[in-house]
Every structure is written in structure tokens, then in C-alpha cells.
A and B are shown apart, each in its own frame.
Chain A
Amino acid sequence: MKFTRDWLFSHLETDRPLAEILDVLPMLGLEVESVVDRAAALTPFVIAEVISAEQHPNADKLRVCMVNIGAGGPVQVVCGAPNARAGMKGVFAPVGAYVPGIDLTLKTGEIRGELSNGMLCSEREMQLSDEHDGIIDLAADAPVGASFAAYAGLDDPIIEIAITPNRADCLGVRGVARDLAAAGYGQLKPIDTSPLEGSFDSPISWDLNLAPDEAHLCPLVSGRAFTGLKNGSSPAWMANRLTAIGQRPISALVDITNYVMVDLGRPLHAYDIDKIDGGKLIIGRAKPGQTMTALNEKTYDLDEDMLVIGDANGPDDLAGIMGGERSGVSDATDKMFLEIAIFDQIAVATTGRKLNIHSDARFRFERGLDVTSPEWASGYVARLVMDICGGQASHMVIAGDGADWTREIFLASDKVERLTGMIVPKARQTKILENLGFTVREDGA
């Protein structure tokens, strides 16, 4: 799983440097696979302002620019970009800087008789994208002389960890932070999971169409309707984090579902209310012969072993695996119904394998989710949606009796020494368990 340093620290209050965190993660069973510091290669690149851009006397396609780089006097640069103009803010690489996109260390040069002391860069020259139509054109308020990497949010290293099948709790950034806090590497920052009282009744309700002996297939599902939404682009902080972990920002509503899945390890599904027929979402087994087209634009043949969600028009969601194309949100969506569900791990795994669909949602569902999350995540996510897209939220609609998540585990505290050969005093064992959120009681008490 991928996340960035700042993303992790948004959940973890700590004064430990990243290097220490990276050293301890493997000791918590979270193997660090890679750490990519995108800023390292961009250290010499600063934000600069083009003071003047004059036609090169000896070349039609070149301009001689005077550039303010914040420190010292203006620097003369010969630039071939069509968009170079006086007053623009761009990214400057000084003499001595290594420019990764052209694999060259800059030297003072003379281009057709005019001195050039550096370079104004395109995104491709910094290997940020394939964009090379012109030099980077920054916002007017970009601070001249400042590090470009910091300005662009690239000074936030990307960390990738491997998650073993037993660590579903760390398939969200918050879970990783919780583990670090339990290990004594900081405090878990609180998030607001209080219930959110909606302002109207949801026009969509749940219909759990499962036999009594199959209630475990969907023990709990919550939903909430939103109206008056504005589904534009997601905010820069969210888009930057998703981009950093290799996800393409699509629209605010889609990005929120993807973001929460990685942030809290909690997959969500968003329906466009206008595309739901009949006011009810039915959760149950598919009927043989039914088909549905999923968000990956592929059409799947369903059978009665598959758990699906649908409306009067038939199934349009493969429970825990992938939503359907027909009822999904689009850029035009202003009324959304948001599903937060628990599905049976084996059912999700079996269906996913049968249809050969590998999705981030399936990965998390089949490893197991926090079975209480449909309730506590509902308010948290509703606030996030309204912060970003405005609008109003309905009351929560919930179905299912929930699953019993409490377990009593007998710990023979002498077993620790017997198995490991190390003496861990009972008080320390208790403390570790309590840090992890266990309630410890003496046998018989």
C-alpha cells in the first residue's frame, strides 16, 4: 500500500523523523518496499519570474529573457518556449543543476551570440509529466525564489509498504498510524466519527433480500443521500495525495470514495440517485442469466452464487468488488447515495475470483473490514462530502443486525517466554495489548 509522509502524519502526531518511522515499520510487520523522494532530484529548481522577454537578435524562435530568481540580480536566459513572456512565473534551473528530463548538467552557454545562464523548464524536463508544449506557467502568486518542489507539494516522500494477509487493519493510512502510535511512535490524532444528523429522509432505502441463514453475507450496510452537490475537481491536497499514490483524480465524488478507501481502509460506493429506479437498493444473490456492466466497462454474466446490489432494473453493483456503469456517479451528478457496507469475505473472494476482477475494494473486503464502520464512517464521510461538494445530507439509512466483532482471547502470559525465549513481564504484555486497543482482564475476574 502506498501513502505519503504528510498523509501519514495527518493521522499521527509525532516528533519522530521519517527515517525512524521507516526503521520501525518493518518491526511492526509492515515491510517498507520503497521510499520515493520526488523532491530530491528537484532541489536546485526554484520559482522565478520572467522580467523581460525580448526577441533573440539572431534566431527567430528564441527569446532572451531576464529572470528574477529571488536572490542576486536578474539572470539572462535564452529560451525557446513559445509561451515565455514578461511577467510570467516559471521554474528556473541554475547553472550546475542536473536536469533529469534531458539528462544534462547545465553550463553557462552562449546561444547564437547571447549568454544563457540556466534554463526555464517544462514539466517533461523535470520528468513530472510528458507535457512539453511550453515552460511551466505558475500561478501569479507563486513565491519567487522558493523551492519549486515544496511549492508543488512534491517534497512529500511516497512510501510503499507490503501488507501480509493478516493485516487488513493496515490497508488504510489510519491503521498504519494506529499501529505506530501503539508502538510508542506518536499519538493517533482524533477524527470526527460522531453521527451526523441529516436534514431530510433519504429517498433511497435498503432492501436486504437474504434468507435468515444467509444474513452473514451482508451483516450491516448504511447509506445516506446527498442533494445539491457540486461535483467538480477535488481539492488540490486530495488530488495531490491520490496522484502521489498513482491514482488519477477523476471528480470530487469519485476521488472522495477512493481517498477514504486508502485513508481509512474503508471502501465506499457512490450511486447517482437519478439513475436508481424504484427508490430501493436490493442486496441479494444474483439470478442466473442476469448480466451487468461494471465500471471497468466490461459486461459480466452473473450467477446465483454472486452477491449483488441492484434496483428495479436489476443488479448494478458487484458487492464489495466493483460498482456498475449504469448507476454510478458522473461529473453531472448532483444527487448521490453513498453506500458503506460489510460483505462476507468468502463471498467477495469467490465472486472476484470467478469473474477475475482485481479491485482495491475487493482486496480490502476479502481481507476483512471493521464491521462497525458502516455506522461510524457515515458521519465522517458525510462531513467530508459536504466540505468539498457542498449540498445537504439525509438521515442515515441502515440495514442488518451487525456482526459480533468482540472476541475473547485467552493469553497464557508464560507462553510468551516459552515460545520466544524472551522474558516479557506480564505488566508490559498488558500495556502492549492495551495500546493496541485490547481490554485486558485477569482470568476469572
Chain B
Amino acid sequence: MQSLDAVSSEIIAAIGAADNLDALEAIRIDALGKKGRISLMMRDLGGMDAEARKQAGQALNKVKDEIAAAIDAKQTMLASAALNARLSAERLDVSLPSRPETDARLHPLSRTIEEVIAIFAEMGFQVAEGPDIESDYYNFTALNIPPEHPARQEHDTFYLPADANGKRKVLRTHTSPVQIRTMEANEPPIRIIVPGRTYRSDHDATHSPMFHQCEGLVIGDGIHMGHLKGCLIDFCRAFFGVDDLPVRFRPSYFPFTEPSAEVDIGCTRDNGALKIGAGDDWLEILGSGMVNPRVLENCGYDPEKYQGFAFGMGIERIAMLKYGIPDLRTFYDSDLRWMRHYGFLPFDAPSIHAGLAGGAV
């Protein structure tokens, strides 16, 4: 067995050589831990006679104190060295300019759809969706548009190649097929809105081959044109943020509604500038009507029992009007400068209480 002095000097030497806190801790455990070398020697004291124990005990305590003191001193030194190293490693020049901001922006079409959803959600509508590639039946026939009807020509439709049965699917020309799909799958009452992509073979300054619509459908017991008017007047006023916005319902024609009405909002045109609100002119923004009994029958509803209304609007159009975007084509250009100008902060979610105007930035 080594002499106490030898052990002591060996440990003191190790402490001196330790170059980090972990190594120092290992030395402490090896010397003073429960099963450390010094601790074990302390335990051996019990087997000695009183005199020897006293002498050995004193010597051991002295060594133990010396080692503890050496560890403490080394620890303080190492901790301070580590702190210095960290401080110099994490040195920061607070006078440097900040890094460029790289926040993403939400596309105005996404924003507009969110606003529309927020308003109708408040009125108890749910969002429904359907496929972009539709059968001829859902896109036309079920909606009371027979094969040779003039209304079918107004839809310059993208047809897909015929399948094995000679049937040609279409890229849906409106979101209205979702009306049929929803009614087929559900029993009244129904209260849905359907935002989505639609396609027509038309491409010029004011038409895009792909654009967005939002459809609405309310079916129930005793739903009448008064409900349609109230619902759409509320929507227009909330969406454009004009409490006294005049809204006009003008008789029109759609094969899937009867009677049908187009919805105009009041506006003023002054030197090419358009202002939405009470004025001397009107601006068309919505199509609407009472669901044609034939459409109800096509979905297996009894038109004597249930009736309701439907409406549809172009998302691009209302976005352009609300946010003063002058050119339809820019929506699809993916121009980052345009997005930074017209886009929205993603966390600025529209809601009725927090506001729908959007913190355009």
C-alpha cells in the first residue's frame, strides 16, 4: 500500500494537470467520492487502536482538506478560463446592421379566400370542396344545363380526352358541381361555401384560363329569397368594410337557379378611380338565385319539401376591387416584388372581430 504522502502528492499532481472541469470532477470522485481512495482510507480507521486512529485520522483529515482546497482552487480557475473562452467566442458587434428581413407574404388570393371564409363561417357556413377534374354530369347536366343549351357555349370548356366509354371529363368551369356532390351526400339543412379553382378556355387581359370562384349553397325548410338577400348584403358590407354599402339585386338568368339575380354594389367612378360605397353607379360582383327545382330533383331532394339559394363569385374580381389590384394577369406572375407589395403577413389571420381589412404591408 502506498504511503499517504505518496497518494496525496499523486492526487495533487493530477489536480494540477487537469485541464477541464470534467477531468477535475473525475479526480474529485476518485479521491473524495464515496469509494474514493481517501474516503476508503478514512473507513479503514475504524480497525485501528485509539492512538493510531487519532494520529492517522489527523493526517488523513489534513490530506483530505488539502485535496479539497486544491480542487476548489483549480475549479475556480478552470471555470473562469471557460467563461473567458466563451465570452471571447460569443463576442458580438452590436454596431453591425441587422440582417435583411425575409418574411414570407400570403398571396392576396389566399388572403381573400380566408376573408370570405371568415365572414361565412360566422354565419354558420362550412367549407366544402370537390375535384378540379369533373364529369360532364356534375359540371353541366345535373345543374340543368342540357347538352345543346346556349349556356354551355358561354363556358368555353377544357375537355379531357375521352375514356374507354367515350366519356370526356372536363376541368370544372365553375365551383357549382360541388353543390350537387354535397346534396347527394348529405341531407338538409345544408349551409356550405366552396372556394376553389375553376377553368375556362379563355385568355386575355381580363380572363385567365385558371381562376378562382367561391360558391355558396343553403338548403333547408322555407329558405327564401329574403334569406338570400340578407345573407349577401351582410357579406358585401362585411367584406368591403362599408356599413352602409348599397346592394342591388338585379334579375338575371342562370340555368341552375330560378329566379336568379345578379348582385351589384354601389360605387363612384371619378376620373378612372373607383370608390366602393354609396354613389351614382353600380358594380356587379355576384350571381345568385333560388336553386332550380330540377337541380334539387337531380340530387334526390323533393322540391316541394326543400328549397334554398345558391350564389357564386369570382375571387380575383373581389380581390382586385378590395385591394386595388389593376391587372388580373399579375395574380399568376409569381413576381416577388408584386407579392411584397400586395401580399399579407401570414400571421395576420382575418376574423370578424379582429378585422377583415388586412394589414396590407
Is B148 touching A350 in the complex (CB atoms < 8 A)?
Answer: yes
Q: Is B276 an interface residue (CB 8 A)?
A: no
How would residues 236 to 269 of chain B score, 1 for a CB under 8 Å from any chain A CB and 0 otherwise? Answer: 0000000000000011110000010010000000
How would residues 419 to 438 of chain A score, 1 for a CB under 8 Å from any chain B CB and 0 otherwise? Answer: 11110000000000000000
Is B226 touching A418 in the complex (CB atoms < 8 A)?
Answer: no
Q: Is A140 an interface residue (CB 8 A)?
A: no
Given A29-B252, A29-B253, A164-B252, A345 and B225 touching (CB < 8 A)? no
Is B253 touching A419 in the complex (CB atoms < 8 A)?
Answer: no
Is B149 touching A31 in the complex (CB atoms < 8 A)?
Answer: no
Q: A residues within 8 A CB of B154?
A: 165
**Docked CA distance A421–B222 (Å):** 9
Which residue of A346, A366, A420 contacts B224 across the interface (Cβ within 8 Å)? A420
Given A26-B250, A420-B226, A349 and B150 touching (CB < 8 A)? yes
Nearest chain B residue, comparing its CB with the CB of A418: B224
User: Could you tell me the distance in whole angstroms from the C-beta of B207 to the nearest C-beta in chain A?
Assistant: 17
How would residues 147 to 183 of chain A score, 1 for a CB under 8 Å from any chain B CB and 0 otherwise? Answer: 0000000000000000011110000000000000000
Given A165-B253, A349-B153, A418-B307, A31 and B262 touching (CB < 8 A)? yes
Chain A, range 331-352, C-beta contacts under 8 Å to B: 345-346, 349-350
Chain B, range 287-323, C-beta contacts under 8 Å to A: 290, 307
Is B148 touching A165 in the complex (CB atoms < 8 A)?
Answer: no
Given A31-B262, A345-B148, A353-B153, A422 and B225 touching (CB < 8 A)? yes
Q: Is B151 an interface residue (CB 8 A)?
A: yes
Is B153 touching A367 in the complex (CB atoms < 8 A)?
Answer: no
Query: Is chain A's binding surface mostly helix, strand, loop or mixed?
Result: helix
Q: Is B227 an interface residue (CB 8 A)?
A: yes
Is A166 touching B253 in the complex (CB atoms < 8 A)?
Answer: yes
Q: Is A27 an interface residue (CB 8 A)?
A: yes
Q: B residues within 8 A CB of A422?
A: 225-226
Q: B residues within 8 A CB of A418?
A: 222, 224, 307
Interface range on chain A: under 10, 10 to 19, 20 to 34, or 35 or more? 20 to 34
Q: A residues within 8 A CB of B153?
A: 349, 353
How would residues 22 to 43 of chain A score, 1 for a CB under 8 Å from any chain B CB and 0 otherwise? Answer: 0000111101000000000000
Which residue of A346, A350, A366, A419 contacts B307 across the interface (Cβ within 8 Å)? A419
**Docked CA distance A259–B141 (Å):** 37
User: Could you tell me the distance in whole angstroms from the C-beta of B10 to the nearest C-beta in chain A?
Assistant: 102
Nearest chain B residue, comparing its CB with the CB of A28: B251
Q: B residues within 8 A CB of A164?
A: 252-253
Chain B, range 147-184, C-beta contacts under 8 Å to A: 148-151, 153-154
Q: A residues within 8 A CB of B251?
A: 26-29
Chain A, range 220-277, C-beta contacts under 8 Å to B: none
Is A27 touching B307 in the complex (CB atoms < 8 A)?
Answer: no
Is A421 touching B227 in the complex (CB atoms < 8 A)?
Answer: yes
User: Could you tell me the distance in whole angstroms from the C-beta of A110 to the nearest C-beta in chain B?
Assistant: 35
User: Could you tell me the distance in whole angstroms from the C-beta of A68 to the nearest C-beta in chain B?
Assistant: 39
Which residue of B222, B227, B253, B307 contacts A167 across the interface (Cβ within 8 Å)? B253
Nearest chain B residue, comparing its CB with the CB of A421: B226
Q: B residues within 8 A CB of A349?
A: 148, 150, 153
Give the interface centre of A26, A419, A420 by most chain B CB atoms within 10 Å: A419
Which residue of A28, A166, A167, A419 contacts B225 across the interface (Cβ within 8 Å)? A419
**Docked CA distance A367–B154 (Å):** 13
**Docked CA distance A317–B121 (Å):** 57
User: Could you tell me the distance in whole angstroms from the C-beta of A217 to the nearest C-beta in chain B?
Assistant: 14
Chain B, range 208-241, C-beta contacts under 8 Å to A: 222, 224-227
User: Could you tell me the distance in whole angstroms from the C-beta of B151 to the nearest C-beta in chain A?
Assistant: 5
User: Could you tell me the distance in whole angstroms from the C-beta of A148 to the nearest C-beta in chain B?
Assistant: 29
Which residue of A166, A346, A421 contacts B148 across the interface (Cβ within 8 Å)? A346
**Docked CA distance A422–B224 (Å):** 9
User: Could you tell me the distance in whole angstroms from the C-beta of A419 to the nearest C-beta in chain B?
Assistant: 5
**Docked CA distance A349–B250 (Å):** 28
Nearest chain A residue, comparing its CB with the CB of B248: A26
How would residues 353 to 375 of chain A score, 1 for a CB under 8 Å from any chain B CB and 0 otherwise? Answer: 10000000000001100000000
Q: B residues within 8 A CB of A27?
A: 250-251
Given A419-B259, A419-B307, A421-B227, A165 and B290 touching (CB < 8 A)? no
**Docked CA distance A418–B148 (Å):** 32
**Docked CA distance A166–B252 (Å):** 9
Q: A residues within 8 A CB of B151?
A: 165
**Docked CA distance A165–B149 (Å):** 9
**Docked CA distance A29–B289 (Å):** 13
Q: A residues within 8 A CB of B225?
A: 419-422
**Docked CA distance A27–B251 (Å):** 6
Q: B residues within 8 A CB of A167?
A: 253
Is B148 touching A31 in the complex (CB atoms < 8 A)?
Answer: no
Given A165-B149, A421-B225, A422-B225, A31 and B307 touching (CB < 8 A)? no
User: Could you tell me the distance in whole angstroms from the C-beta of A180 to the nearest C-beta in chain B?
Assistant: 14
**Docked CA distance A420–B290 (Å):** 9
Q: A residues within 8 A CB of B226?
A: 420-422
Q: B residues within 8 A CB of A366?
A: 150
User: Could you tell me the distance in whole angstroms from the C-beta of A360 to the nearest C-beta in chain B?
Assistant: 14
Nearest chain B residue, comparing its CB with the CB of A348: B148
User: Could you tell me the distance in whole angstroms from the C-beta of A389 to the nearest C-beta in chain B?
Assistant: 35
Q: B residues within 8 A CB of A345?
A: 148
Chain A, range 297-353, C-beta contacts under 8 Å to B: 345-346, 349-350, 353
Nearest chain A residue, comparing its CB with the CB of B251: A29
Is B250 touching A31 in the complex (CB atoms < 8 A)?
Answer: yes
Chain B, range 127-149, C-beta contacts under 8 Å to A: 148-149
User: Could you tell me the distance in whole angstroms from the C-beta of A444 to the nearest C-beta in chain B?
Assistant: 20
Q: A residues within 8 A CB of B149?
A: 165
**Docked CA distance A29–B249 (Å):** 10
Nearest chain A residue, comparing its CB with the CB of B253: A164
User: Could you tell me the distance in whole angstroms from the C-beta of A118 to the nearest C-beta in chain B?
Assistant: 29
Is A420 touching B259 in the complex (CB atoms < 8 A)?
Answer: yes
Nearest chain A residue, comparing its CB with the CB of B147: A346
**Docked CA distance A31–B262 (Å):** 10
Nearest chain B residue, comparing its CB with the CB of A163: B253
User: Could you tell me the distance in whole angstroms from the C-beta of B174 to the nearest C-beta in chain A?
Assistant: 15
**Docked CA distance A27–B253 (Å):** 12
Which residue of A166, A350, A367, A419 contacts B290 across the interface (Cβ within 8 Å)? A419
**Docked CA distance A353–B154 (Å):** 12
Q: B residues within 8 A CB of A29?
A: 250-253
Pairs of residues from A and B, 5 with the lowest C-beta to C-beta distance, nearest first? A421-B226, A164-B253, A421-B224, A29-B251, A165-B150
| 7 more A-B residue pairs beyond the given contacts A367-B150, A420-B226, with a C-beta to C-beta distance below 8 A | A26-B250, A31-B250, A31-B262, A165-B150, A349-B148, A418-B224, A421-B226
Could you list 17 examples of A-B contacts with CB < 8 Å? A26-B250, A29-B250, A29-B253, A31-B252, A31-B262, A164-B252, A165-B149, A165-B253, A166-B253, A345-B148, A349-B150, A367-B150, A418-B222, A418-B224, A418-B307, A419-B259, A420-B225
